[in-house]
């Protein structure tokens, strides 16, 4: 069974800190995604990657960066965390269009 694992369920950081959110999938999927989920706004795409070292901006990339050094791992980086980045972050992966997408359990990030 495909598993997408996010490193933390809950995380509390301070403004100005550099924050790393890690996501690992075990099905050799090419495509990986980072979303943030906020009440009333649904899931908004931050960045996605279709291959190692490849990345594409989503709808709300400002304030974020990503890293994909290995196929199974896709990291989201908050360079200098701000309070408006307090949110639920979801990672997902896809193999091909014929395969279902798989999501991690989410990371609830609070920036104080």
Partner 1 sequence: AQTVTQSQPEMSVQEAETVTLSCTYDTSENNYYLFWYKQPPSRQMILVIRQEAYKQQNATENRFSVNFQKAAKSFSLKISDSQLGDTAMYFCAFMKHVNSGAGSYQLTFGKGTKLSVIP
Q: Which residues bind partner 1 (CB under 8 A)?
A: 30-31, 33, 35, 40-45, 48, 50-51, 54, 56, 58-59, 88, 90, 92, 94, 96-97, 100-101, 103, 105-106
Between 17 and 105, whose beta carbon lies closer to partner 1? 105
CB of 33 to partner 1, least distance (A): 6
Using the 8-state DSSP alphabet, how is residue 53 labeled? T
Least distance between partner 1 and beta carbon 45 (Å)? 7
**Residue whose CB is less far from partner 1, 78 or 90:** 90
Helix (H) and strand (E) counts in the chain: 0, 11
Nearest approach in angstroms of CB 16 to partner 1 is 28
Cβ-contact 95, 9 below 8 angstroms: no
Give 41's contacts (C-beta < 8 A, 6+ positions apart).
none
Q: Which residues are paired to 49 by β-bridges?
A: 32
């Amino acid at each position: 069974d495909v598993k997408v694992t996010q490193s933390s369920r809950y995380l509390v950081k301070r403004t100005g800190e550099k924050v790393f959110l890690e996501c690992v999938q075990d099905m050799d999927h090419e495509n990986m995604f980072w979303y943030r989920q906020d009440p009333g706004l649904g899931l908004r795409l931050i960045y996605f990657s279709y291959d190692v070292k490849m990345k594409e901006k989503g709808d709300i990339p400002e304030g974020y960066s990503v890293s994909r050094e290995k196929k199974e791992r896709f990291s989201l980086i908050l360079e200098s965390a701000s309070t408006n980045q307090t949110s639920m972050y979801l990672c997902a992966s896809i193999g091909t269009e014929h395969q279902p997408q798989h999501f991690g359990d989410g990371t609830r990030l609070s920036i104080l």
